[in-house]
Amino acid sequence: MTAMTRVASVNEPTLYVAFELSQREWKLAVTSGVGVPPVLRTVASGDLGAVQEVLAEGRRRWRLPATARVVSCYEAGRDGFWIHRALISIGVDNRVVDSASIEVNRRARRAKTDRLDALKLVTMLVRACQGETGVWREVHVPTVAEEAARQVSRERTALTQEQTRLRNQRRGWLTTWGCRLPPRRHDGWWQDLRDWAGAPLPAPVQARLARAEIRLALLAEQIATLDTQQAAAVQTAPVGSPLQQLVQLKGIAATSASVLLDEGLVWRGFRNRRQIGGLLGFTPTPYNSGASVREQGISGAGNARLQTITIELAWNWIRWQPDSALTQWYRAHFGPGKRARKIGIVAVARKLLIALWRYVTTGAMPTGAIRTAA
């Protein structure tokens, strides 16, 4: 979603700073406004003292008062939001920019360096602060608590993916020796397997399977710990809280509800359904140029975790909420045909996420939905 940008007066003394971040050093492009050639300075990565010296130098260079407003920006990326919070703490009005929304030269080959990126970013910052719309999109920065809360659901997703990958690998290892994974497995089950010729598996293969079994056991233990933590969060959540509201709906479990809330269903402060669709990436991308008119499909450029969980929730909703208006709409439009159902479930996912957002923010129950028994 797009964050709000304060529009500065052309007469207000302002120092504009753009950060181009890297692991070793930061490049700062500094200017005082429209038409003023920016200067470039380099500081060590994370050196906030050097940043303040650059800001002081900029004020002296353009004869700005010590109380002049300082506006800065940087692209969202590996460094996360700690830089934003650090800049806010020293009185800088910072904004974090969505990298995918930055204008680029459409030539087949173009020069790209940290210096050029910083200079371009600061000119765009000036344009955005002077009231030009559509320059870029800004990232909504979560609070420290909101960002920390995401770690549980994200860690569980990573562990589950690692568990699935290891299980698939284990099947692949056995296939190369002409045997299959037994449906029922006891301790040391790999010692009883036989290859295509009826011989025991080689010792290195058995050792590899043994180590994989240990890793799978550890992953299962860690996932169970996180599941317990999420279940406890549901039990201790205040009555009427968004988490309690979601898990009361049939077809939505604690894990799904946690992912929705951790990824920003509430804290991002959506203002309309279009912003939700933009974050989700399930938005149309029309191509209308001259005589050529066609629809290119959904953009897909959204939050991957939300995309995955909303598709899963959409299938669950169809199964567990058969009398809801959304399920009836889906069956009326996409009932016959397996391909049509798979296409339609994307539309259900978008509509469902919007309905759940309205439910947790305004209390408006999805039409026809039922709650689980207390």
At 150-194, the pLDDT tens digits run 999 999 999 999 999 999 999 999 999 999 999 999 999 999 999
Q: Are residues 169 and 197 in the same domain?
A: yes
Specify the pTM.
Answer: 0.83
**pLDDT at residue 5 is higher than 60:** no
Q: How many residues does the chain have?
A: 374
Query: Is 105 part of any domain?
Result: yes
Residue 75: enclosing H or E segment and its boundaries? strand 69-75
The whole-number pLDDT of residue 47 equals 95
Domain boundary among 209, 236, 263: 236
334 is a domain residue:
yes
pLDDT tier, 281 (very low <50, low <70, confident <90, very high otherwise): confident
Please tell me the predicted confidence (pLDDT) of residue 154.
94
pLDDT at 145: 92
- The domain tally of the chain equals 3
Residues 353 and 259 in one domain: yes
Residue linked to tokens 């959506």? 270
Question: Can you give the pLDDT at residue 1?
Answer: 46
Examine residue 118 and state whether it is found in any structural domain, yes or no. Answer: yes
> Is residue 54 domain-resident?
yes
Is 254 a domain residue? yes
Q: Is residue 367 part of a domain?
A: no
Q: What is the mean pLDDT of the chain?
A: 91
pLDDT digits (tens, 9 = 90+) for 222-254: 999 999 999 999 999 998 899 999 999 999 999
Among 232, 159, 174, 165, which residue's Cα sits nearest to residue 208? 174
Residues 226 and 204 in one domain: yes
| Domain boundary pick from 236, 263, 282 | 236
Q: Does 349 lie in the same domain as 259?
A: yes
Could you say which of 236, 258, 293 is where a domain stops?
236
Shared domain check, 285 and 263: yes
Are 60 and 97 found together in one domain?
yes
Spatial CA neighbour of 279 closest among 98, 22, 64, 54? 98
Kindly tell me the burial class for residue 276, based on how many C-beta atoms sit within 10 Å of its own C-beta (0-12, 13-18, 19 or more): buried
- pLDDT of residue 9 exceeding 60, the answer is no
CATH of the domain at 69: 3.30.420.40
Residue 158's domain comprises 146-236
Return the minimum-mean-pLDDT range out of 32-36, 128-132, 278-282.
278-282
In a domain, 8, yes or no: no
Sequence-distant (≥ 6) Cβ neighbours of residue 316 within 8 angstroms: 251, 252, 256
